[in-house]
Structure formats: structure tokens, C-alpha cells
Amino acid sequence: MSRHIPTYELYGENIGRSPEFWLHCETIRSRSSLHQWEIRLHRHESFFQILYIEAGSGDAIFGERSHTIRPPAIITVPPGLNHGFRFSRDIDGLVITLLRSHLSHPLGDRSQLGEWLATPHLTPLDPDNAEAAYVIQTLRRLGNEFENRRSGRNETLGAYVALALRLTARISHEGDSYELASNENERRMEMLNELLQQHFRSHKPASFYAGELGVSPTHLTRIVRSMTGNTPHELIAGKLIEEAKRQLVFTLGSVQEISFRLGFADPAYFSRFFLKYTGETPRAWRVKEKVRLEGA
């Protein structure tokens, strides 16, 4: 039986009312100390969160995986993701919660930033790096701005959030972070495998599968490489080869018939395709495999 993962607005506050804010900021200490420094697995359906870790240590838990937090660092958490945290008692930093509708880019859109926002990240901040230092300063200013109700507060908060996320994404893309989206990537791989089963005989390109999954071809390549070590093109080809081998062994159809069943208009091209990925022609592979099975 799967565990029930609660859905909260702020952690420990049940949903059931419309949010009265578009952005909330508090210290990590003020919330986590109420729960013995442990924020158990939960999710937010409508909120995006930014955690700025200034001091202390802890673990970020996404699904079943735990990731060590070392300050200074930023953690970004998209909506709908099961997550939790364990903090040391000397933890210091901010947690910023904002409505997803107030993000500068829609989650998962085709832009680089939109894709980055759609997955959780843990990004170390090197104070000697000028942009990382600016992110730290920006988030400290955001916390101060939230506490002081001065004129232009909302506009200033929005500018600080947009700037902090943009610079953090840039640092991330330059290789200073690691993605915490293993569960999300696993879900997308499951969906991709289902789509491949439905469409592999149509020889759809990788861009078709990316569109069906709602990601860019570049992001799909990144997911497939991280989960399988292959490119989407190699995955598609592998599915065709797998089915070709199955039919060569377990059906009586000729190589020409099998090529047509697999969506190849030209049996000669099918033979070249099979040779490229197996090192043997379909006929030679069939004979060799049947001999092997008979001797087994």
C-alpha cells in the first residue's frame, strides 16, 4: 500500500482555503523548529519554493532519495513534488513560497528557464563566484523587503525573485548544481516507454515523443541519457531491433514480411538498419540464434 503524502499550503497548514498571498518568506528555523527540525514528506499543488541555506546542514528528501545539503546553497522545489527535509539545529536561511502563477516563466515551457524551473535542483553557491554572491545578496534583500512594508514592496519582491531564479539557473547550467528530479525522470521514462510501445512501428522521430511528454527535444535527450546512457534515437532504434529479433525467432515470416510489419517500406533498408545495430544481417542472425536455442 502506498503512503499518503499530505498536501499543504505552508508546511503543517492544511489546504481548504484560497491563498491570501502570492509570496511568503520566513526563516527555515522558524518553521522547522516547530517540527523537531524535520519536515516530513509532503507536497504543494500550487506553490513553487526556494530554500536559501546560509548555515547549518541537512538532507533534502525527494521521493525515496536523500541528498546532503551543505551551505551556502539554494534548493528549488516545483509544485506537485513529494519532498521533505531534515535540518541540523544550527540551520539558518530562508524559505520563500510563491504562487506558480507568479513565476516569470511557465513551468516546463520550451525555454531553458521554464524547463529548469520544472525540476527540483540543489545548487551550491560559491561566495567567490560573483553571480553566486549576488544571488546570496539578493535573497537577503528579499527577506528584508518582505519584513518591511514599504512602497513598491510587491514589485521589488517580484524583481528579486526573478533575478535570483535567473542567476541560479545560469549557475546550474554551468555545472555547479545537480538535479534532484530522479522520480520525475523515472515517471517520464515510463511514459516514454508506453509511447514507444504504441508508436515504434510508425518510426516517429524523437521530437514527436518530446512533444507528447511536454518537453523540448534537448530536455528529452538529457532525461534519456541520465536514465539509460543512450540517446532517444538509440532508444527508438533499440525498440525496433528488439521486436525484429522477437519476430525473427518466434514467427515464420520472411525477412521481407517482418520488415513490412515493422513499418519499413524497403526490406533492403531494414537489412542495413539491422546490420548497423547488431553487426549481422537479419537472415544470418536468425540462423545463428535458432542454432543457439536448439542447442540450449
The pTM score is 0.59
- Domains detected in the chain: 23-180 (2.60.120.280), 183-295 (1.10.10.60)
- Across the chain, what does the average pLDDT equal? 86
| 120-129 pLDDT tens trace | 889 999 888 8
Mean pLDDT, rounded, for 9-31: 70
For 152-184, write each residue's pLDDT tens digit.
999 999 999 999 999 999 988 775 444 555 556
Burial class of residue 77, CB neighbours in 10 A (0-12, 13-18, 19+): buried
* Mean pLDDT confidence for 277-284: 94
pLDDT of residue 67: 85
Cell numbers 524551473 correspond to: 117
pLDDT tens digits, one per residue of 39-80:
998 888 889 999 999 999 999 988 777 888 989 999 999 888
pLDDT at position 19 over 80: no
Q: Report the pLDDT value the prediction gives residue 240, as an integer from 0 to 100.
A: 96
Span 194-216, pLDDT tens digits: 999 999 999 999 999 988 887 78
